[in-house]
Chain A
Amino acid sequence: GAVVSQHPSWVICKSGTSVKIECRSLDFQATTMFWYRQFPKQSLMLMATSNEGSKATYEQGVEKDKFLINHASLTLSTLTVTSAHPEDSSFYICSAGQDTQYFGPGTRLTVL
């Protein structure tokens, strides 16, 4: 199957700082990528749809000014958590693909 990577795999930051997470499709082009968030012992929650060349689409309740998404190329989408706070600590996962979605390995964010 197709391969999706994420970087970094884990990050620890201080409250108030911004953190950027990268999602790359390694062997295919993706005009659309998706970002999910997962809290401990919960299911994945879709946050937003990243569209190459246009603005991201956010799910209801997700703050677009806090979670900035940039789809710079057909193989790269970035999620920036701005002014991070402890409640933003979570497991962030991206996906890409056509009808079958392939998921990245996830990024563990811990905000102190």
Chain B
Amino acid sequence: DAKTTQPTSMDCAEGRAANLPCNHSTISGNEYVYWYRQIHSQGPQYIIHGLKNNETNEMASLIITEDRKSSTLILPHATLRDTAVYYCIVRVVPNTGNQFYFGTGTSLTVIP
């Protein structure tokens, strides 16, 4: 699976949109982009995933560039409860191995 690069930390004002970037310049055609987040002392929580089209669900939006070398997770109206470490992972789907390899992630702090 391709590697990802994310900023170590970011701040966002409460109520504003949080835009978390991820670089995956070596992504291959059959690799999806997954986003998870981990609130302190909890297991990672699935947020969203996509292949090449932009995706939106009740939690967030995922914007993938046309060349698929980078993506942005958007939390439209950040709240204090969105403070967490956000992980961007790329992996082949279907994946007989299924395991996820986590990078260092981005620590997002939502400021009141």
Contacts and interface: CB of A to CB of B under 8 A. Distances in A.
18 contacts: A1-B46, A6-B43, A34-B98, A43-B105, A46-B100, A46-B101, A93-B43, A97-B98, A99-B32, A99-B93, A99-B98, A101-B99, A101-B100, A103-B43, A103-B44, A103-B46, A104-B43, A106-B43
Nearest to A45: B102
Interface of A: 1, 4, 6, 32, 34, 36, 43-46, 49, 91, 93, 95, 97-106, 108
A19 to B, nearest CB: 18
A45 B102 CA distance: 7
A40 to B, nearest CB: 10
Nearest to B101: A46
B103 A49 contact: no
- Which of B36, B100, B104: most chain A CB closer than 10 A? B100
Interface in B86-110: 87, 93-95, 97-105
Interface in B57-112: 87, 93-95, 97-105
B105 A103 contact: no
Contacts of B99: 34, 46, 49, 101
Contacts of A91: 41
A103 B87 CA distance: 13
Contacts of A108: 41
Top 7 nearest A-B pairs (CB, nearest first) are A103-B43, A44-B102, A99-B93, A103-B44, A43-B102, A106-B43, A105-B43
B46 A100 contact: yes
B26 interface: no
A102 B44 CA distance: 8
Given A43-B102, A43-B105, A102 B93 contact: no
A102 B46 contact: yes
A46 B105 CA distance: 15
B49 interface: yes
Contacts of B38: 44
A13 B104 CA distance: 30
